Amino acid sequence: MMDRYTKLQLVGIYAALAVFLTFILLPFFEMFMASLRPLEHLFRSPYQFWSDDFSLQAYKDMWVTVPLLGRYIFNSIFIATSVTVITMVFVVPAAYAYARLDFPFKNISLGIFLGVNMFTGAVLLIPLYRVLRTMGLLNTYWAMIVPGVAFLIPTGIWLLRSYLEKIPRELEEAAFVDGASRMYTLRRVVLPLAVPGLIVVSVAVFIGAYAQQFLFAITFNQTRELQPLPAGLFEFIGYQSVTWNEMMAAALVGVLPVMLIFLFLQKYLVAGLTAGAVKE
């Protein structure tokens, strides 16, 4: 017989699973189904879950409807990758310092980082626009990379700091006894042990950079060739009609890089997320 606590756990698990299936997985599945239907059959009533007219035509036509679609997908990957690399360059030493060193205003600055995470980019769009205009970065890749880095550094520091704190200090102290410097210890001792955590943080930053491109692109960039995919999807909206099936197909193709990242890094993600969960 299950006790009351176990039953509550099962209810919570099933409720979370139902929410995930309803609001996350089902929309993706409906996007896929819509991409397979002809445009004239998308809104017919009554709704038919299965149809005999499914085809991959939308996946062929979308490249004709939006000739720069391939460029938009490349821009999204390039911007997200650039944001991830630059962010991690700042996050790694900063997170290590917060995990191992004592310095003035340490807790206050951590609190500020946490407070920054509570704001979205929309709150600071106008000030950011003025700053980027003054720096001459509007209508360039940097107009979408720099704000992304600024907003994701606090998140990366918080995540990686928590992971680095789980690494035993004795390993670093042994290196110090042998005459190793702080930077050498970080590079040769800490980072090799922190690979799963680094991958988790990098993936989180990449997804965050991929998700926030639309807002920064439509505000800070008017150059068509530099637009990322979320902004480029607007070109499927015509003056008199919207090619919804092609838009859904393009959106699914754009999500594919993130899905591939999860697929290939799944082992490291699980190791990083569960690290420190069991205390020896």
**Closest of 25, 27, 28, 34 to residue 56, by C-alpha:** 34
Q: Is residue 56 part of a domain?
A: no
What local confidence, expressed as pLDDT, does residue 278 receive?
A: 44
From residue 253, alpha-carbon distances to 84, 199, 239, 258, 263 in Å are: 21, 23, 24, 10, 15
What local confidence, expressed as pLDDT, does residue 239 receive?
A: 78
From residue 66, alpha-carbon distances to 10, 75, 88, 234, 247 in Å are: 47, 15, 34, 10, 10
Q: Which residue has the higher pLDDT, 57 or 42?
A: 57
Cα separation, 60 vs 229, whole angstroms: 17
Mean pLDDT across the stretch 18-35? 87
Cα separation, 96 vs 104, whole angstroms: 16
Q: Taking a C-beta distance cutoff of 8 angstroms, is the pair 13, 6 a contact?
A: no
Q: Is residue 136 part of a domain?
A: yes
Q: Is residue 8 classed exposed, middle or buried when 0-12, 13-18 and 19+ CB atoms within 10 A define those classes?
A: exposed
Q: Is residue 43 part of a domain?
A: no
What local confidence, expressed as pLDDT, does residue 81 receive?
A: 94
Using 50, 70 and 90 to split pLDDT, how confident is the model at 280? very low
Predicted TM-score (pTM) of this structure:
0.86
What's the CA angle centered on 267, arms 262 and 270, to 5 degrees?
85
Q: Is residue 35 part of a domain?
A: no
Range with the lowest mean pLDDT among 116-120, 124-128, 164-168? 116-120
Q: Is residue 269 part of a domain?
A: yes
What local confidence, expressed as pLDDT, does residue 271 receive?
A: 61
In the structure encoding, which two tokens stand for residue 273, read together?
Answer: 């997320």
Angle between helices 106-116 and 142-164 in degrees, nearest 10: 130
Using 50, 70 and 90 to split pLDDT, how confident is the model at 268? low
Q: What is the CATH number of the domain that holds 216?
A: 1.10.3720.10
Q: What is the pLDDT of residues 196-250, one digit of tens each?
A: 889 889 988 998 898 888 889 999 999 999 999 999 999 999 878 889 999 999 9
Cα separation, 265 vs 256, whole angstroms: 14
Structural domain including 224 reads: 67-273
Cα separation, 264 vs 206, whole angstroms: 15
Mean pLDDT, the chain, integer: 86
Q: Say how many domains are in the chain.
A: 1
Q: Is residue 46 part of a domain?
A: no
Q: Is residue 279 part of a domain?
A: no
Cα separation, 167 vs 198, whole angstroms: 13
Mean pLDDT across the stretch 173-191? 87
Q: Taking a C-beta distance cutoff of 8 angstroms, is the pair 58, 246 a contact?
A: yes
Q: What is the pLDDT of residues 59-86, one digit of tens each?
A: 999 999 999 999 999 999 999 999 999 9
Q: Taking a C-beta distance cutoff of 8 angstroms, is the pair 151, 192 a contact?
A: no
Cα separation, 168 vs 190, whole angstroms: 9
Q: Is residue 123 part of a domain?
A: yes
Cα separation, 50 vs 73, whole angstroms: 30
Q: Which DSSP string do the residues of 20-69 spell out, in sequence order?
A: HIIIIIHHHHHHHHHHHS-GGGTT-SS--S--TT--SHHHHHHHHHSTTH
Cis peptide before 127 (omega within 30 of 0): no
Using 50, 70 and 90 to split pLDDT, how confident is the model at 107? confident
